[in-house]
Amino acid sequence: MTDDRTSTPIPTAGPTSPIEGKYINFFTDFGFKKLLGPPHNQRLMDILNCVLPDLPSPIVQLDYLPQEQLGVSEEDRDAIFDLYCITESGTRIIVEMQNSRQQKFLDRVLYYSMLPIRQQGQRGQWDYSLCMVYLVAIVNFRLPQIVADPEDIITLVKMMNTKTRKDVGEKIAQVFIELPKFTKDSADLSGRVDKWLFAMNNLGKIVEVPDALREEEMLMEFLDDAQIASLNENERLSYERSLKAYRDRINTEEYARKTGWEEGWKKGQEAGWEKGREEGRKWGRQEGRQEGRQEGREEGREEGREEGRAIEIRAIAQAMLIRGIDRETIMELTRITAEELSNLYS
């Protein structure tokens, strides 16, 4: 079983410390908020100017809005970290980090994208004039269902006329950044986007700062703020709690995937393989009497094996569903289609 996340063992900070490495882990709630939250609006603005592919002009001012306006639930906060901002032109931008695959993730993104739209409503006479809204989702897993090119790291999603390919929803856009797809080495970084993606994706594993990052003052400030040695006592305790939550979440997901697969495999062998093999033998015997026993047996065995494998995979997928594993992960691991997976619900 593989995971999209990568990890490199590095020396621990001390014999009893859960903290590893020189820099904090960007994928923790503490790391995300400390490095991109207030008062680092200039840093966040620089990143957004790099990763938003269709800005009419660069963002020159960015302010943080109260996060409570988003109405994010405590349940969401277990896996999702949000920042809510507004530009000088009134454009609203939600920046979120998500570590865990989630059922209905794209529906959730759409829902939260709509909240800043609704907040712009005015009482009384109003012409429905709206400012642009972006939701930037930095995800620590792959989203195969949203991209035409599996190598795309940054994907822009907007409403469009499917015939003319013209944008029709010019007030809302979603940008997905799939960090596990970024695999460049430090020697291959070619631009500012590459450098930011490398820093975020590899922060917890950096030992020596690459020359490409040393060329950028803002990236060096980012690394300075990320140094574990610079944390005060309260920050260190907060980081330890956040790091533990991150690790627990990964371990829980990996255990669910592993046990779901093993249970499904066992059930598939018990129910599907034996049934398929027996039916294959029966079919082979019947066909063999008519067209030759040997040929019939071989074809029957092959047909039985194929049917047995199909039954087995369905059993695996059903076991994973029961354990609460999201549909995207199940389809990715079993290669089952969305239609076949939907039929398992009935």
Cα gap 174→118, rounded to integer Å: 16
Residue among 221, 197, 223 at smallest CA distance from 209: 223
Cα gap 240→329, rounded to integer Å: 29
For the chain, 346 residues long, give each residue's pLDDT as a single digit of tens.
444 444 433 333 333 455 678 999 999 999 999 999 999 999 999 999 999 988 888 999 999 998 766 655 555 444 457 899 999 999 999 999 988 777 788 888 888 888 899 888 888 899 999 999 999 999 998 887 776 677 889 999 988 888 888 888 789 999 999 999 999 999 999 999 999 999 999 998 998 999 999 999 999 999 999 999 999 999 999 999 999 988 888 787 777 767 766 666 666 556 555 555 566 566 555 654 555 455 545 555 666 666 667 777 777 877 777 676 777 777 777 777 877 777 775 5
| Predicted TM-score of the model (pTM) | 0.70
Residue among 56, 127, 137 at smallest CA distance from 101: 137
Contact 317, 341 (CB under 8 A): yes
Q: What is the pLDDT of residue 336?
A: 79
Contact 85, 40 (CB under 8 A): no
Cα gap 193→53, rounded to integer Å: 11
Q: What is the pLDDT of residue 48?
A: 96
Cα gap 33→238, rounded to integer Å: 12
Q: What is the pLDDT of residue 79?
A: 44
Cα gap 156→146, rounded to integer Å: 9
Q: What is the pLDDT of residue 279?
A: 60
Contact 286, 259 (CB under 8 A): no
Q: Angle CA(186)–CA(240)–CA(28) in degrees, nearest 5?
A: 50
- Taking the domains of the chain in order of start, what are their residue ranges? 29-231, 260-343
Element (H, E) at 202: helix 192-202
Please name the amino acid found at residue 328: E
